[in-house]
Structure 1
Amino acid sequence: MKQFFKFVLATVVGIIVSSIILIVIFIGIIGGIISSAEDDVTVSANSVLNLEFKGPIGERTPNNPLAELSFLGFDKEKNIGLNDILANIKKAKTDDNIKGIFLDQSYLETGQATTEEIRNALIDFKKTGKFVIAYAEVYTQSFYYLASVADKIYLNPNGYFDLSGFNSEVTFFKGTLDKLGIEAQIIKVGTYKSAVEPYFLTEMSPANRLQVSSYLNSMYNHFLTGISKSRSISRDSLYSYANKLKIQYPQDALKLKLVDALKYKDEVLVELKKRTDVDPDDDLNSVSIAEYTHSNGSKSDDNGAEEGSSRNRIAMIYASGEIVGGDGDNETIGSDKLSEALRKVRLDNKVKAVVLRVNSPGGSSLASDVIWREVALTKKVKPIIVSMGDVAASGGYYISCAADSIFAQPNTITGSIGIFAVLPNMQKFFNDKLGITFDNVKTGQYADLGDISRPLTPAERGILQNQVNHGYSIFTKVVADGRKKTQAYVDSIGQGRVWTGEQAMKIGLVDRLGNINDAVKSAAKMAKLKNYKLVTYPEQESVWGQLGAGLSAEVKQSMLKSELGDNYAYYEQINSLKSMMRVPQARLPFNVVIK
């Protein structure tokens, strides 16, 4: 009895303590949400817009209640999306209070096409005569490409400048799987469809090495050409500097005219004060890109920015992340949720045209087909234009190909028209490593098809191969119909091969090179609109809808990143294998990371 009361008391105390902790967390969350709901920000005269990117740049600013939370270890700034970054730079062009932009050091956790969008916006900003100044202690290649358009580029006298060329690395897990006694059973179509290579090879196949070399050189040439034009340095010279690693110290970057001066940040701030007519003893008038979103009553809501007073609308539909079945979430493309958004704008008479913004490496081939169907139906009743982001490949291209027109950046990654499936055979792992064996009774020859405790039989492998072949035939057919090509031609440029946007335009997978704004203008032109309002879909989850799941996800991700550091990328790659099992996939072969 004594023991019983001890357990009861411990349980009661546990409940009370847990309740108190939950109340504290809840109050903290509410406080964070309230504090983040800022009033409109007033921008002082003679101000500088500060662009400092401290986290990943998504397609649009997340509606996340935890984004600016500062308690229990969550002390970070809100990640601002590309939509608000571009809108704020555009707004600053005509804001008399903004005299220039300060590009403060950033590591730019984003793809090349997103960087291109921001870079083009800065070039457009400079047309007003306003200045752009860049400073960094460390210039990564990605940030330097962005900063190269600045009027002045400053580097810390003891800083670091990277110009070494592009590198694409693939991590292979076959050796690990062999040690564990796990066989990755691969069923695929496409000579270049290399997403599964890490699980059955120890190095790149010749075909994969060829395509990586092709797309990487295309992106690198565009990178060098952009810097060459901005800095008036020949492309060949830039190539030589990188190839021979001639920039090893800050003085090297200065000597080769890649930067304009070596300065400490306090010296740069003095210059900014001079440019904005601020007294040297006063603080610099500065507004961050996140704060500027709320400036002068111009805070944008999820319904987008108004381009005119007309009741006519252009719908901007965001398709960002891995393609999955169901509703998905703010980080994935759920076929049900995106299809619903497409149906909604298709049936809305106020919506005269649609821009589908695609930033996806693909995913489920079935989910991709479900979305493609809605795009094709929409095309029958109103113009639909695709704007490609960093990646619109495999399933990301599948959902794009039915559009009236496709826009991409020169350094967008696209194509990868191919299908694959992976099924692990874990028999040796269970038997030899764990001592576990299995037995079963079945009523049909294929009742246990897909059982990971044994290898596929030749007949089962043939069935799965036929399914994958059928999926590839459908994929090439919808691309052929959408792009007005023969299926044989699509197969010749398909086979899972990856292309850059620049390459894709030459072979007919893309219509034009351009940014989001170019796609919107094209949609307006097709719909014969002079005035319109831009509205965005699908709706992001509400604050309260995300609260529970958001907290759990934030805690998990924060802990993993803290422990794994740069190795977090490997965890994500291994974790993604779960979604590849059995179900045919239309997915990009690899993640492209250029620093």
Structure 2
Amino acid sequence: MDFLLEYSMFFLKALTIVLAIGAVLLMGVMAAVKPGNRKGELTFDNLSEEHQALVEDLHQGMLDKKAFKKWQKQQKAVDSSSQSRLFVVDFHGSMDAHEVEALREEVTAVLAMATKDDEVLVRLESGGGVVHGYGLAASQLDRLRQQEIPLTVAVDKVAASGGYMMACIANKIIAAPFAIVGSIGVVAQLPNFHKLLKKNHVDVEMFTAGEYKRTVTVFGENTDKGRAKFQHELEETHLLFKDFVQKHRPVLDIQQVATGEHWFGYQAFELKLVDELLTSDDYVLKQMQQRQVFLVKYQLKKRLSERMGLAAAATLNSLWQQANRLMVWR
């Protein structure tokens, strides 16, 4: 019995290694193949109908048959054709803001059908990231403002730095009481290994054309002049950030709030960084009383290499768990 357990554990570990090598080779081959257009799927989910079905199910479960029929008769028929609409878009931003690829498709779809009587709600969650990525994301939301379609941004958790750059585009910003808001500042950091390399007698040579093609580096020796230039660039970026926020939210005391600090919803409301303390859930429920609410979502299709990678990862995880169980049984 001990021999069988030992052999099973060895076999599973060997199989894990073989599958891992195979997965790496497969992903390498797929990466070498020129990818085609990554088409996605655009969906419109009727949140109003889903909510109404939920309410009806709850009443049916809580009321007797006679009372439930009476409740049904009291419900007025909703004529969706005569109502305006609220289009809900979710944006959960990462450091590189790659989610803007889906956002642009969602905004384009909304613009194709929305009117000035409709409204767009963006449920925003982001701690910020690269300037150019969030600048593009903010520009996508500005497309709605340019067409005079009312835009509301809801912050349930965090909209800081680049996230707030996006939020300030809106006609109205709502936030949960303890959501993190603000951080109107710019930060950059990088390690420098020059002293370590010098200690080990390793030289790194860099050749540039243009005085400020490189200001600070990871491996070379940084100069005071290069540091000063880099700091100047950060200050210029911060100034552009402040001007951008002030333009879209003139009610702000920009010198007070553009210190790089962040605030909770309660504080942000007092500083006029947000217009109302309210969660996105409550806002959507209120809007359902007067509008048809639709969730707009664009989902990119995963490449074959990505699907294979996920499948391989799941297989490896399963095999590793089995190997661990064998070790425990023993």
Question: Could you say whether these structures have the same fold, taking a TM-score greater than 0.5 normalized by the shorter chain as the test?
Answer: yes
CA offsets per residue over residues 61-111 of structure 1, 9 Å max, x none? xx9xxxxxxxxxxxxxxxxxxxx9xx7899268424656xxxxxxxxxxxx
- Residue in 2 aligned with 1:454? 220
Matched, 1:95 2:58: yes
- Which residue is equivalent to 2:104? 339
Distance change (3 Å), C-alpha of 1:408 and 1:440: closer
Q: Match for residue 155 of structure 1?
A: none
Letter in 2 for 1:451: T
Partner SS for 1:485:
coil
**Partner Cα distance (2:266, 2:163) in 1:** 17
Structure 1 distance, partners of 2:109, 2:307, is 27
1:498 offset after TM fit, Å?
Answer: 1.1
Matches of 2:142 and 2:179 in 1, distance apart?
23
Please give the residue correspondences for 1:141-152 in structure 2 after superposition, counting only pairs within 5 Å: none
Q: Hey, what does 1:439 align to over in structure 2?
A: 205
5+ residue gaps, structure 1, are 1-13, 23-62, 64-83, 100-306, 329-333, 560-595
Q: Determine the structure 2 residue equivalent to 1:541.
A: 300
2:183 paired with 1:416: yes
Amino acid aligned to 2:178: N
Alignment deviations for residues 96-152 of structure 1 (CA, whole Å, 9 cap, x no partner): 4656xxxxxxxxxxxxxxxxxxxxxxxxxxxxxxxxxxxxxxxxxxxxxxxxxxxxx
Is the 1:308–1:531 Cα contact (8 Å) retained in structure 2? no
How far apart, in 2, do the equivalents of 1:551 and 1:338 lie?
A: 27
Q: Deviations over 1:479-523 (max 9, x none)?
A: 21222236xx2121221111001110111001111121343367x
* Shift in Å, 1:547: 2.1
The secondary structure found in structure 2 opposite 1:347 is helix
Matches of 1:521 and 1:421, distance apart in 2: 41
1:521-575 CA distance string (max 9 Å, x none): 67x59xxx934241223x223477662353467689999xxxxxxxxxxxxxxxx
Distance 2:100 2:316 in 1: 26
Aligned partner of 1:406 in structure 2 is 173
- The match for 1:389 is 156
Question: Structure 1 pair 431/337, CA: closer, same or farther in 2 (3 Å)?
Answer: farther
Given that 1:401 and 1:482 are in contact with CA atoms closer than 8 Å, whether structure 2 keeps it comes out as yes
Tell me if 1:490 matches 2:254: yes
Q: Where does the alignment leave 5 or more consecutive residues of structure 2 unmatched?
A: 1-14, 24-40, 42-46, 63-77, 320-330
For the Cα contact (< 8 Å) 1:318–1:357, is it kept in 2? Answer: yes
Aligned to 1:129: none
Partner of residue 516, structure 1: 280
For 2:264 and 2:125, how far apart are their aligned partners in 1? Answer: 14
Whole-angstrom CA distance in 2 between matches of 1:89 and 1:312: 17
Contact 2:180 2:263 in 1 (8 A): yes
Q: CA 1:442/1:416 → structure 2, altered by over 3 Å: closer, same or farther?
A: closer
Query: Do the aligned residues in 1 keep the contact of 2:131 with 2:162 (CA within 8 Å)?
Result: yes
Task: State the TM-score, normalizing by the size of structure 1.
Answer: 0.38
Report the Cα distance in structure 2 between the residues aligned to 1:363 and 1:507, rounded to whole angstroms: 23
Contact 1:335 1:371 in 2 (8 A): yes
> Could you tell me how far apart the structure 1 residues matched to 2:133 and 2:239 are?
16
User: 2:317 and 2:131 mapped to 1: Cα distance?
Assistant: 28
Answer whether contact 2:89 2:120 (CA < 8 A) is retained: yes
RMSD: 3.8
Structure 1 98/411 Cα, relative in aligned 2: closer, same or farther at 3 Å?
farther
User: Do structure 1's residue 361 and structure 2's residue 324 form an aligned pair?
Assistant: no
Shift of 1:361: 0.8
Of 513, 526, 530, 2:290 maps to: 530
Other structure's SS at 1:453 match: coil
Give the letter for the 1:396 counterpart.
G
CA separation of 1:94 and 1:426: change in aligned 2, threshold 3 A: same
One-letter amino acid of the structure 2 residue matched with residue 309 of structure 1: S
Q: In structure 2, how many angstroms separate the alpha carbons of the residues matched to 1:339 and 1:456? A: 40
Shift of 1:349: 3.5
1:98-497 → structure 2 map (5 Å cutoff): 309-310=80-81, 312-325=84-97, 328=98, 334-349=99-114, 352-380=118-146, 381-432=148-199, 435-485=201-251, 489-497=253-261
Query: Does the C-alpha gap of structure 1 residues 501 and 358 become closer, same or farther in structure 2, counting only changes over 3 Å?
Result: same
Q: 1:345 to 1:551 in 2, by over 3 A?
A: same
CA distance in 2, matches of 1:441, 1:554: 45
- Gap change, CA 1:492 and 1:462, over 3 Å in 2: same
Structure number having the greater helix percentage: 2
Identity across matched positions, percent: 23
Partner Cα distance (2:114, 2:56) in 1: 33
Given that 1:323 and 1:368 are in contact with CA atoms closer than 8 Å, whether structure 2 keeps it comes out as: no
1:573-584 matched pairs, under 5 angstroms? none
Distance 1:463 1:374 in 2: 31
Q: For 2:243 and 2:316, locate their aligned partners in 1 and report how far apart those are by CA, in whole Å.
A: 42
CA separation in 1, counterparts of 2:263 and 2:317?
32
Query: Alpha carbons of 1:308 and 1:531: their partners in 2 closer, same or farther (altered >3 Å)?
Result: farther
CA gap of 1:543–1:441, structure 2 versus 1, over 3 A, is: closer
The 8 Å contact of residues 205 and 220 in structure 2, kept in 1 or not, is answered as no
Give the deviation of 1:472 after TM superposition: 1.1
Change (3 A) 1:458 1:552: farther
Shift in Å at residue 397 of structure 1? 0.9
* Other-structure match for 2:7: none
Q: Which residue of 1 aligns with 2:310?
A: 550
**Aligned 8 A contact 1:402 1:478 in 2:** no
- In the TM superposition, what whole-angstrom CA distance separates every residue of 1:22-68 from its partner, at most 9, and x where no partner exists? 8xxxxxxxxxxxxxxxxxxxxxxxxxxxxxxxxxxxxxxxx9xxxxx
Whether contact under 8 Å (1:385, 1:519) holds in the other structure is no
